[in-house]
Amino acid sequence: MAVAVVLAGCAAGAVPPTNPREELRIATNGPGIHNGLTALYGGVILGTDNGDGKACFRTRQADQVPIIWPYGSSARRNPLRVLDAKGRTIAVDGQTVNLGGGFVPVQTGHLIGCGAADTAWVAN
């Protein structure tokens, strides 16, 4: 009987419990890259925890543009949020933000955590 219970916990599709302190990977700029873009983009942040150690943050506007964060940024859970390289919270799922930066084409057509994308907002 105990064997059946153990095997049931390993069934295909079983999702391991999440750790709220686990660092989630998000789309970021490379080291030393300063985009020099100075536009302002604001809106409500929509964060998605993919459950695979990655997350995506977009704006809730109709276009739901994915955001590329400054180098060293990461995300955490509870609440789902973006931290800068020094560990300070810079965006929280559901909150309104104003981000300096600009729109850029996504060269690879894919962003970490966000999947397919043609355009993204690169935040300063």
Helices (H) and strands (E) in the chain, counts: 1, 10
Residue 97 lies inside a defined structural domain of this protein: yes
Residues forming beta bridges with residue 31, ordered by sequence position: none
Domain assignment present for 77: yes
- The radius of gyration computed from the CA coordinates of the chain, to the nearest angstrom, equals 17
- Reported confidence tier of residue 61, pLDDT bands at 50, 70, 90: confident
Residue 24, pLDDT > 50, answer: yes
Average pLDDT, the chain: 84
71-88 core/surface letters (b: 16 or more CB in 10 A; e: else) = eebbbbbeebbbbeeeee
Residue 110 has pLDDT above 50, yes or no: yes
Q: How many residues does the chain have?
A: 124
Percent of the chain with pLDDT over 90: 65
Domain count, the chain: 1
**pLDDT, position 67:** 96
Q: What's the pTM?
A: 0.80
Domain assignment present for residue 15? The answer is no
Q: Which domain holds residue 117?
A: 20-123
